[in-house]
A and B are shown apart, each in its own frame.
Chain A
C-alpha cells in the first residue's frame, strides 16, 4: 500500500524547540522507522494516527488523504482507520482483556455487543491465544500477553494500517525473537501493512522492507534494498549517517 508522509512540526517554545521535518514514501508492507531516541519517530507515528497535528504537510495512506494543510484536510483520529500499538501498550487498566479488545467495537449506548461482533471477539481471542485470560485485568498479564492484547485491540477494527511504537522494547530477548515472527504471521493473516519504530538493528534485519533512518528530527536516508539490512552491513552504512550510533 502506498504511504506518503511529508510533514513539518515545531514543538516547545523559547530555547527548547524541537523541529521535525520528515518526508518519505513507501509502497512496501513493512516500513521501519529507525534512529536514536528523540529523533522524531514517535511524533511521526502520532501525526499519522491523527493524535498530533503537523504545522504543514501531507499524509496519505492508500488512496486516502488523512492530512493536507494546503487543502485544509484533517481527518480526526477516530475516523482514520489506523491501528496504533503504544510503546507500553496503553491497555485500559480498569477493563478486562475481553473488554480491552472489544473497546473499539462497541458503538452507541448498548451494553452488550451485537452477536456478529461477539463472534469476532471470540475469533480474535483465539488467534492471539488470549481466550484463557479474557477475564483478567492487564496488570495480571505477562509482557508477551500484554502486547498481544494491544495488537488484538488495534486489529479487531480491521484498520488500513498498523502503527507500532517500539513493539519489542519491553520484552526480553527470547520473547522478542518470537514476537517478531508472530508479527509477520499477523501481518499476513490480517493482510495489513505495518509501520514500526525501533532502534534495534535485529528488528530491521528481520522485518524491514522499507527502512527510514531518522536523526535529529530529519530523515537521513530511505532504503528499500533489503540486502543492506543485515546487521553488519547496516552498521557500516549507518555509521556515516548517525554519529556514534548505539549499535
Chain B
C-alpha cells in the first residue's frame, strides 16, 4: 500500500515557523529585557500586551491583524502604497500571524531568565567599563541564554501548530499558504482520512522532538 504523500505543507510550515520564531525572538527578547531591567511609564501595560496573545482566541488575533495589515488597515495601506507589498494571503502573512501568537512564549521565558540574572553581575560589568549595550551582550544575554533558548523552542513549536490566526490572515491556498495544521483540517473535511492521519503523525513527531530536545540540551547551570 502506498500513501499519497505530499510534503509541501511540511516545508511550508517549517519556513513559516522559522521566520515567525526569528521575528518573535528579536521582538520578545528586547521587550523582555526592557521590562525586566528598567522602570518606565507603561511598563505594566507593555507586559500585558505581550502576554495577551496567550489568552486571546487566535481568530480574534487574526481579526486584529487583518484590521491592521489588510487592504484598508493603516499599516496595510502604507505597505501597499510605499512598497507594493500585501501580506494578506501570503506565507509572509502567515509567518506574521504565527509570530504574534508565539510571542508570549518567548517573551515570558526570556523575562524570567533576565530577572534570574544577579543584578550585581551587571553592576560588576559596569564598574569594569562596559556600556549598557556591552552589559546586555556580554553578561545579561549569555546568562539568560538557557531560558531564552527554551522559550524559542516553545515558540517554534507553537508557530508550527498555529491554525486560527494563520487561516484568517493567509487563508488556505494549497502549496502557497496551506500549512500542516490547516492541511490536516482540509484533509479531514474532504474525508481524506489517510492523508490526515499521516499529517497528524508528522506534526506530532516534530513537536515531541522539539520539546524533548529543548528539555534535554538546555539545562545550562553554572552554580
Contact = CB atoms under 8 A, between A and B. Distances in A.
Interface size bracket, B side? 10 to 19
A128 interface: no
Contacts of A103: 125, 128, 138
A111 B125 CA distance: 17
B118 A78 contact: no
Contacts of A153: 124, 128
Interface in A93-124: 93-94, 103-104, 107
B127 A49 contact: yes
B120 A90 contact: yes
B127 A154 contact: yes
Contact of A78 (B121, B129, B143): B129
Interface size bracket, A side? 20 to 34
B222 interface: yes
Contacts of B43: none
Interface in B99-127: 118, 120-121, 123-127
B130 interface: yes
B3 interface: no
B129 A84 contact: no
A104 B123 contact: no
A65 B50 CA distance: 43
Contacts of A79: 129
Most buried by A among B120, B129, B223: B129
Most buried by B among A83, A94, A137: A94
B223 A51 contact: no
B142 interface: yes
B48 interface: no
11 contacts: A50-B126, A77-B123, A78-B126, A78-B127, A78-B128, A78-B129, A90-B121, A92-B139, A137-B222, A138-B222, A153-B128
Interface of B: 118, 120-121, 123-131, 138-139, 142-143, 222-223
